[in-house]
């Protein structure tokens, strides 16, 4: 009797025959598996939703401006009035000495008071029919409209610079990892050099230099107010941060059998690089892409805040904060709103990027149950 319960090769064969009748096991692509893991990560997914929401809101900026606020991002309303709950109020009133503590007018002689030349209208929260929802700035521009347009510019610069950065980093990493030798040596030295650079300092220097006259060399013409300037200035900063780890990955993939097989079949270097090596680093590239957009949005804001990024009167979240910081005493929303917008956008990208990494890298040693 004991021989029946014993697990022999025969029982295994029987089991296999029995299973053959049931549904076959379907092969699934790694992308599908990653997607399934990602789908189960509700936190990452809801933050992706938040980012999409920000994207859509900023993309609809012109619609909001023309149909709700009835003004443009750079339209000034210094002498205009607006009806709030039936009362007529002027958009910008004369300033004076304001107490830093209470935000109320005070005498010149009191300490803790600062002189503000003009005080714009505060947030109306839709009691003015969609006008000046977040108030106006010191020359009477609608802050809500500028926030959306500014978001559009910040996102364009952030995403554009990331695309350029990742593109060059991938090319350099593939070249260095595939060819090795002196090409690898030159490219790694180049990465090292950029690591040693005070990059933010250089970004500011370049940004403010280009902001004066634009760039007109080698047949390239960029006018001084162009969004291309901050985009290009920011794009190079993080190239080594992406390029170095990618180069490491390419270097180890280069030794794998499938690359050897491709080469022995006569595949050209370009073919090996782009259709053998590149697909294997795509997941890392995707993760980097998300996280670097987040980083570049903050960097753009910092440069614009220092006057070396997006140039006024063009709105961006950084220029809005720098416009708002002097009025923070009486109209804190001018500086708070763009800052909160940055935090939410960057946070959503960071959380989603994390989730993406967990989903795409099944070899990660630690899995925390969500």
Partner 1 sequence: MATFLVRRTIGAILVCIAVTFIVFLIFIVVPGGDPAQRIAGKNATPQNIINIRHSWGFDQPFYTQYWDMLKKMFGGNLVSYTNQQNVLTQIVQGMPATFSLTVGAGVIWLFFGILAGVLSAMTAGRLSDRVITVLALIGISMPVFWLGIVTRYYLAEGGLVSWFPDGEYVGILQSPSQWFSHMILPWLVLAVLFIGFYGRVLRGNILDTINEDYVRTAKSKGLTPRRIMVKHVLRTSLIPIITLFGLDFAAVLGGGAILTETVFDLHGVGQYAALSINNFDLPPIMGVTMYGAFFIVGFSMLVDLFYAYLDPRIRPT
The smaller minimum CB distance to partner 1, of residues 6 and 369, is found at 369
Please report how close the Cβ of residue 163 comes to partner 1 at its closest, in angstroms.
21
**Gap between the Cα atoms of 287 and 282, Å rounded:** 9
How many angstroms separate the CA atoms of 174 and 180, rounded? Answer: 10
In the bound state with partner 1, the residue whose beta carbon lies nearer, of 169 and 337, is: 337
Nearer to partner 1, 129 or 332 (CB): 332
Could you tell me if 276 and 258 are in contact, meaning their C-beta atoms sit under 8 angstroms apart? yes
Report the nearest approach of partner 1 to the CB of residue 214 (Å).
8
Residue 317 beta carbon to partner 1: minimum distance, rounded to whole angstroms: 8
Closest to partner 1 by CB, 97 vs 274, is 97
Residue 16 CB, nearest approach to partner 1 (Å): 35
116: which strand partners? 96
In 3D space, the residue among 72, 58, 85 whose CA is nearest the CA of residue 140 turns out to be 72
Task: Say how far apart CA 95 and CA 115 lie, in whole Å.
Answer: 7
**Alpha carbon distance 142, 320 (integer Å):** 11
Give min distance, CB of 228 to partner 1, in A.
14
| Beta carbon of residue 306, minimum distance to partner 1 (angstroms, whole number) | 6
Choose between 69 and 150: whose C-beta lies nearer to partner 1.
Answer: 150
Q: Which two tokens stand for residue 287?
A: 């993760």
Residue with smaller CB distance to partner 1, 74 or 350:
350
Structure tokens at 119: 């005080």
With respect to partner 1, which residue has the nearer C-beta, 1 or 212? 212
- Closest approach of partner 1 to the CB of residue 367, in Å: 10
Q: Which is nearer to partner 1, 76 or 323 (CB)?
A: 323
Applying CB under 8 A, the residues found at the interface with partner 1 are 100-101, 112, 192-193, 195-198, 200-202, 204-206, 208-210, 212-217, 294, 298, 301-302, 305-308, 321, 325, 328-329, 332, 335-336, 338-339, 342-343, 346-347, 350-351, 354, 365-366, 368-369
| Residue 182: CB minimum distance to partner 1, A | 16
């Amino acid at each position: 009797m004991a021989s029946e319960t014993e697990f022999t090769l025969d029982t295994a064969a029987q089991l296999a025959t029995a299973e053959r009748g049931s549904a076959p096991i379907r092969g699934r692509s790694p992308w599908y598996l990653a997607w399934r893991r990602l789908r189960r990560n509700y936190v990452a997914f809801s933050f992706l939703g938040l980012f999409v929401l920000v994207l859509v809101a900023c993309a609809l900026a012109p619609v909001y401006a023309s149909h709700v606020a009835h003004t443009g991002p750079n339209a000034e309303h210094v002498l205009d009035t607006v009806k709030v709950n039936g009362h007529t109020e002027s958009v910008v009133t004369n300033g004076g000495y304001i107490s830093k503590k209470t935000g109320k007018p005070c005498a010149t002689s009191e300490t803790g008071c600062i002189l503000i030349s003009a005080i714009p209208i505060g947030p109306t929260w839709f009691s003015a029919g969609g006008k000046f929802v977040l108030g106006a700035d010191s020359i009477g521009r609608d802050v809500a409209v500028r926030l959306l347009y500014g978001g559009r510019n910040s996102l364009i610069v952030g995403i554009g610079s990331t695309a350029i950065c990742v593109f060059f980093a991938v090319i350099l990493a593939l070249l260095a990892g595939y060819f090795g030798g002196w090409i690898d040596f030159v490219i790694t030295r180049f990465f090292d050099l950029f690591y040693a650079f005070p990059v933010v300092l250089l970004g500011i220097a370049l940004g403010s230099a280009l902001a004066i006259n634009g760039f007109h060399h080698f047949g390239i013409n960029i006018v001084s107010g162009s969004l291309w300037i901050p985009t290009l200035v920011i794009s190079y900063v993080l190239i080594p941060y992406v390029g170095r780890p990618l180069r490491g990955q390419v270097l180890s993939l280069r030794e794998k059998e499938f690359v050897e097989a491709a080469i022995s079949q006569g595949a050209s270097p370009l073919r090996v690089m782009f259709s053998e090596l590149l697909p294997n680093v795509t997941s890392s590239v995707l993760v980097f892409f998300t996280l670097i957009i987040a980083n570049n949005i903050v960097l753009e804001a910092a440069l614009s805040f220092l006057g070396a990024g997006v140039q006024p009167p063009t709105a961006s979240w950084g220029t809005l904060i720098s416009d708002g910081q002097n009025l923070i005493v009486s109209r804190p929303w001018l500086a708070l709103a763009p800052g909160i917008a940055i935090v939410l956008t960057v946070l959503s990208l960071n959380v989603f990027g994390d989730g993406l990494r967990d989903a795409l890298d099944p070899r990660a040693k630690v899995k925390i149950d969500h």
